[in-house]
Amino acid sequence: MSLSLQPGGSATRAPPTSALSAPGNAVTTRPITTGTSVLGIKYRDGVMLAADTLCSYGSLAKYKNARRLLPVNSRTLIGGSGEYSDLQAIDDLLRRNALEDRCTADSLYEEENDGEDCAKEVWSYLRAVMYNRRSKMNPLWNDIVVAGFRQNDDGSTSEEPFLGIVDKIGTAYEDDILATGFGGYLALPLMREKYRPDMEEGEARALLEDSLRILFYRDCRALNKVQIAKVTRDGGVLVSDPYELDTYWDFKGFVTNKGEMGTDGGW
């Protein structure tokens, strides 16, 4: 070990170089700052996603303006639950890929390029990324919902909407309605009961808002400040600003005593 002089004239032994340059633990062993459910539904004109804007630091409701519905390009949208920093890493990865595609395209003008990845291509790519990371024991701790439209063979946007999910170990599937987190237990049964393939946009939005409201009542990691996003064939991707849902707390089950113990109505 080499000697190093400290202020005041004292001499101490410096730690070996290998100890200074050794990397820290770069593996996500457990999520720290997390978002909860993301809901997705197909309707007559496209696909719609919904999520609240809360990120919890453990059990602390710390960040109340975390946006988890992210546009990828003009015809693809993702929503993520789980570790928020990993979701940001996925967003950065998809943006780098989009920039690389644009830089290597035949034209610099967007209207002359058909090189944007469609929703199914983004979904397939994320499935490979998630499986690769879990195989290295360093998963991205997220469940990602991908919404958008498929692509025709000539590069044009198909009439068929797409809705798929990829989890942190690379499991992936498609469906007409999807939910992550507690939404898979609380919201998905309600959505299945009321879903119709020919739903209008207003009906789909009302169903998602009702489901988010139920999650706010029953999931202690949820918030009534939410975002709605949609992808349509003609209008592209549109993500709303956060807004608050109206809530009602005077249901009989919320205010009556439990077990006739004279309590305040809590569980």
Active site (catalytic) residues: 28
Mean pLDDT for all residues in the chain? 84
Q: pLDDT tens across 142-180, in order?
A: 999 999 998 777 667 778 899 999 999 999 999 999 999
Phi-psi group of 155: left, alpha or beta (phi > 0 → left; psi -120 to 50 → alpha; rest → beta): left
Task: Compute the distance between CA of residue 182 and CA of residue 187 in angstroms, rounded to an integer.
Answer: 8
Q: pLDDT tens across 32-56, in order?
A: 999 999 999 999 999 999 999 999 9
Task: Compute the distance between CA of residue 4 and CA of residue 11 in angstroms, rounded to an integer.
Answer: 6
Q: What pLDDT score was predicted for residue 17?
A: 46
Task: Compute the distance between CA of residue 222 and CA of residue 151 in angstroms, rounded to an integer.
Answer: 35
| Global confidence as pTM | 0.82
Give the tokens for residue 118.
């469609």
3-state secondary structure 174-205: ECCEEECCCHHHHCHHHHHHHCCCCCCHHHHH
pLDDT level of residue 12 (50, 70, 90 thresholds) = very low
Q: pLDDT tens across 187-210, in order?
A: 999 999 999 999 999 999 999 999
3-state secondary structure 51-106: EECCEEECCEEEECCCCCEEEEECCEEEEEEEEHHHHHHHHHHHHHHHHHHHHCCC
Task: Name the least confident of 113-117, 129-133, 199-203.
Answer: 113-117
